Structure 1
Amino acid sequence: MLKIGLASLRHQPTLDQGLAKIGETLRQCREYGVDIVCFPEAYLPGLRGTDVALPPPDQPAMERALETLRHMCGQHKTSAIVGMEWTSPLGLHNRAYVVSDEGDVLGFQTKNQIPPGGESEHYVPDGTRTMFRIKGVPFGIAICHEAWRYPETVRWAAVRGAQIVFQPQWTGRHSGQTKRMQWGESFFEKAMVCRAGENTIYFASVNLAMDGQTSATSLIDPHGRLIDHVPYGAEQLLVCDIDPDKATRLFASRFDPSLLPDE
């Protein structure tokens, strides 16, 4: 069994406050015996092009933040997936860093399918996809829009052995009040069901807690059934046990690209 945590947290006004919130959550994770916890998209310092005010990118500050994350994960013996922005020679990336329970950086996944509008004015893709492994369980990451609109990003990981795909997301707004729906009524939650069921894997989606939230932090089983979720607007650490052996990847592994017609 693998014990995962999905941290539906509110955005913090400063980088230091965001790191403190992550540290508080990692302490909880250690108490619950969580193996790996996933935080929302771009949690540090926040997602540009949305309704939060952010200072200009500060790469030295992000490098210091990553070192702090390494220390906290090692201290609390919990692996973490943390959304961070990162400046590279290509430009500013929206990344999800993976840090082990020993404080080692295992790598990162960059958001490559970037929605037009606010985000595309700030971020650039890097064109790479990465596989990860925790406690012997292979997993992938597809960030927000990628998994909603481009199921190929999830299938890419599933055909390479992923038994769970994590989706850090930022879906909704802080300003205004969105009508609360029953779970499964939104397009986003329907997409979660599809990503799990069409690949026969677990799908773990983690949203920011917002007043105008339009997608719930949720865990879906390999049959496309909801295991549990966090109510809209609630700040909560959702902890669940999963059995990786149930993620057979049946449908992902049966896909035969040779049966597609030539262009």
Structure 2
Amino acid sequence: MPRRLRIATVQSPITINPAANGATLRDLMRRAYDEGARLVHMPEGAVSGHTGGDVDWKPLGDELAEIADLAAGLGIWVVAGSHHRLTPPNRPHSSLYVISDQGVLVDRYDKRYLPDGELDELFTPGRDPVTFTVDGFTFGLLLCVEVNVPELWAAYAEAGVDCILFSSYAEDPMFELAARDRAATTMAWVSVSVPARVSHAMPAGVIGPHGDWLATGNRSGLSDLVLVDLDDSVLPTRS
């Protein structure tokens, strides 16, 4: 019997104010729930903003806690982009938090490949891949410039991942071409979550395992939510 899962991919305005970001994201979570989504996928830095080490950690923690509480209340999974604090003087990670439908932080993905500017001034690189399973579908996580590292995508395909949740903050139209290629070569769905302001270069949306968009958000810089049903009966067989 085919398995199906509805995911909601976020294209949200992102500011340097965690409270403003959190309020917007929770509104989108409620909308996703109303539309029947089981998982909500958010951009890189969705909660914290993309501010490097200059973070007010207390309000950021409060917003993440409210997002987790709402995930539990709605019974949906959330993958939320945020900075992750390390012990000073270490710079933070750029991370994706995996929050279960019980409101529990079950894992965290830290961006492993950093462009020179981020590596030198903003972030500490992560080390490990992350996978998790929702309703029989296995997900992998990647961030931003990692779209240009095919071996990371191949490793997820070899691990049997069905869908890669790719969050980005970059304003680079080449990322769209690369993401579509990665979907086709891994034969997996790719959910692309970006800030609204960069949607002219690459919108939020979901790419099918054939490399074509199944649905996208607007390209006009506005907030959006893209809903797609994953259906394992259409997945190609990997050799």
TM-score of the alignment, normalized to the shorter chain, above 0.5: yes
What displacement does 1:212 show? 7.5
Q: Which residue of 2 aligns with 1:163?
A: 162
1:83-98 map, 5 Å: 83-89=81-87, 90-98=90-98
Q: Tell me how far apart the structure 1 counterparts of residues 161 and 209 of structure 2 sit (CA, whole Å).
A: 12
Q: Tell me how far apart the structure 1 counterparts of residues 66 and 218 of structure 2 sit (CA, whole Å).
A: 30
Q: 1:34 aligns with which of 29, 32, 37?
A: 37
2:206 partner SS: strand
The amino acid of 1:88's aligned partner reads L
Q: Which runs of structure 1 show a deviation greater than 6 angstroms over 4 or more consecutive aligned residues?
A: none
Q: Which residue of 2 aligns with 1:108?
A: 108
Provide, for residues 191-230 of structure 1, a one-character-per-residue CA deviation record: whole Å limited to 9, x for no partner.
1111111011101111110167421212111111211111
The amino acid of 1:229's aligned partner reads T
1:23 partner SS: helix
The structure-2 alpha-carbon separation of the partners of 1:119 and 1:17, relative to structure 1 and needing over 3 Å to count, comes to: farther
Q: Tell me how far apart the structure 2 counterparts of residues 47 and 39 of structure 1 sit (CA, whole Å).
A: 13
1:70 partner SS: helix
Q: Tell me how far apart the structure 2 counterparts of residues 114 and 43 of structure 1 sit (CA, whole Å).
A: 18
Q: Contact 2:19/2:60 (CA < 8 Å) preserved in 1?
A: no
The amino acid of 1:210's aligned partner reads R
What displacement does 1:13 show? 4.5
Q: Contact 1:85/1:92 (CA < 8 Å) preserved in 2?
A: yes
What displacement does 1:58 show? 3.1
Q: Which residue of 2 aligns with 1:130?
A: 130
1:196 partner SS: helix
Q: Contact 1:48/1:118 (CA < 8 Å) preserved in 2?
A: no
Q: Contact 2:6/2:36 (CA < 8 Å) preserved in 1?
A: yes
What displacement does 1:249 show? 5.7
1:13-92 map, 5 Å: 13-48=16-51, 56-89=54-87, 90-92=90-92
Q: Contact 2:169/2:198 (CA < 8 Å) preserved in 1?
A: no
**Alignment length, in residue pairs?**
233
Q: Tell me how far apart the structure 2 counterparts of residues 14 and 141 of structure 1 sit (CA, whole Å).
A: 25
The amino acid of 2:145's aligned partner reads H
The structure-2 alpha-carbon separation of the partners of 1:119 and 1:235, relative to structure 1 and needing over 3 Å to count, comes to: farther
1:223 partner SS: coil
What displacement does 1:48 show? 2.8
The structure-2 alpha-carbon separation of the partners of 1:119 and 1:18, relative to structure 1 and needing over 3 Å to count, comes to: farther
Q: Tell me how far apart the structure 1 counterparts of residues 200 and 120 of structure 2 sit (CA, whole Å).
A: 21
1:194 partner SS: helix
1:106-255 map, 5 Å: 106-118=106-118, 120-147=120-147, 149-172=148-171, 186-210=173-197, 213-232=200-219, 233-248=221-236, 250=238, 254=239
The amino acid of 1:159's aligned partner reads E
2:67 partner SS: helix
Q: Which has the larger radius of gyration?
A: 1
The structure-2 alpha-carbon separation of the partners of 1:158 and 1:212, relative to structure 1 and needing over 3 Å to count, comes to: closer
The structure-2 alpha-carbon separation of the partners of 1:187 and 1:94, relative to structure 1 and needing over 3 Å to count, comes to: same
Provide, for residues 137-176 of structure 1, a one-character-per-residue CA deviation record: whole Å limited to 9, x for no partner.
11101101112x1122222212111100011111229xxx
What displacement does 1:118 show? 4.7
What displacement does 1:12 show? 3.2
The amino acid of 1:236's aligned partner reads D
Fraction of identical pairs, as percent: 21
Q: Tell me how far apart the structure 2 counterparts of residues 227 and 120 of structure 1 sit (CA, whole Å).
A: 37
Q: CA RMSD in A?
A: 2.0
Q: Contact 1:141/1:166 (CA < 8 Å) preserved in 2?
A: yes
Consecutive unaligned residues of structure 1, counting only runs of 5 or more, are 50-54, 174-185, 255-263
The alignment's TM-score, normalised by the length of structure 2, stands at 0.90
